[in-house]
Amino acid sequence: MDTPTRSTVDLTDQLLAEVAQFIDLLPSAFDRAIRAVPRHLFLPPLVWLRDGNGGHRPCDRATAPDEWLSAAYSDAPLVTQFTDGLPTSSASMPSVVLRMLALAGLDRKSARGRVLELGAGTGFNAALLCQLCGDQAVTTVELDPTLAAEAERNLKAVGHAPKVVRGDARAGWSAGAPYERVIATFSVDRVPSAWLEQTERGGHIVTPWHSAWCSGYGTLVLTTTPDGGGEGRFHSFASFMPMRGPSTATPSDDGRADEAEQVTSSALSPWAVAGGDLNAEFHVGLTVPGACYAWDASGEHAPTRLDVADDTGPSWATVDYDGHHADRFTVTQAGPRRLWDEISAAYDRWEELGRPSVDGYGLTADTAGAQQVWVEGVDGTRRAASYI
């Protein structure tokens, strides 16, 4: 194996300079933590980098040591595990990691309470938590036994020994409760009740968010209330893999709904709701549960088609652009849900609300398990966005 030519000290300086573009006045405690936790020691010899075309390419430390080490100290996500051809674990962008720690209040000197991390991954985030709060205050839960063992080895190698639990993060870890802070390193589409129950009153839950429509965008910071519920707001950053359970259910293979298709037209452009406006997509994801999409540019059916499906049932819709008219699109729908009608209504509602950004949304959870997403208008009035 070739030897890297750049020092980790120089690379850490470079990384902190990149992070500073996203975090003004990086707290000194975070600076010290990053310098004390060498990121490359928490990465496997083989990682996968984004290839610029929506996929990933391998980067092997044995054959490309300089590229591997530079990647280790870049402010970029690195895939560390593939399962059945899909990425199932990654090392998150350091700037995103630090922003989440700041949202949890760990940039304050008074932050010394117990912390529960959900999703140990490689152990890097747990090591930062140990630096900030002390080893005895940190518990990390990891579903994958291989990753849990790897995280434990990596943490030991840099002199840290938090409690590493092999288990389903959805259930938290009641043995160490209550926690002052609960931090998830994967995204959810609702807050598990166990997390609320295990967080002390006035404590914070920080978790990335996803929906079927808008995968992995937005971070929720929830503060637990005296009655055992919670209330908080979303923040417009983060992209994380969704939470995995101990087993993956096989979706029904009933195919698309075979009832009569309804063909209409729509003035709503498919690009308005699936073309990269993350604020609009976030709203659609919250208010049209189960709806997901894929673009089809093969030309087999239309010059450009947006395929829409219900990930919980047989309903579907297609929205076709004929290559000439951008003011009217052919819509075909079938199934018990009229998905494009729901999406159009959601988009109209988003415009009616003033096209709010992700930061305008919040969530209230009650002790009965109901969770309501709301949006705050410019006048401070809260209006319900959806129930999840």
Q: How far apart are CA 265 and CA 15, in angstroms?
A: 50
Nearest to 30 by CA among 105, 91, 115: 105
Residue in 89, 92, 95, 344 annotated catalytic: 92
> Is 92 marked active-site?
yes
Q: How far apart are CA 184 and CA 192, in angstroms?
A: 11
Token look-up 């870049």 returns 74
Give Cβ neighbours of residue 143 (< 8 Å, ≥ 6 apart).
Answer: 119, 166, 167, 168, 169, 244, 245, 246
CB 216 within 8 A of CB 241: yes
Give Cβ neighbours of residue 288 (< 8 Å, ≥ 6 apart).
Answer: 213, 339, 342, 343, 346
Where residue 85 falls (left for φ over 0; alpha for ψ -120 to 50; beta otherwise) is: left
What secondary structure does DSSP assign to 265-314, as a single string?
EESS-HHHHHSS-HHHHHHHHHHSTTEEEEEE-SSSSSSEEEEEEETTSS
Give the start-end residues of each E strand in 342-387. 361-365, 371-376, 382-387
Q: How far apart are CA 340 and CA 331, in angstroms?
A: 8
Q: How far apart are CA 317 and CA 331, in angstroms?
A: 7
Give Cβ neighbours of residue 212 (< 8 Å, ≥ 6 apart).
Answer: 189, 285, 289, 290, 291, 292, 311
Helix axes 339-352, 278-287, angle to 10 degrees: 120
Residues with a known catalytic role = 92
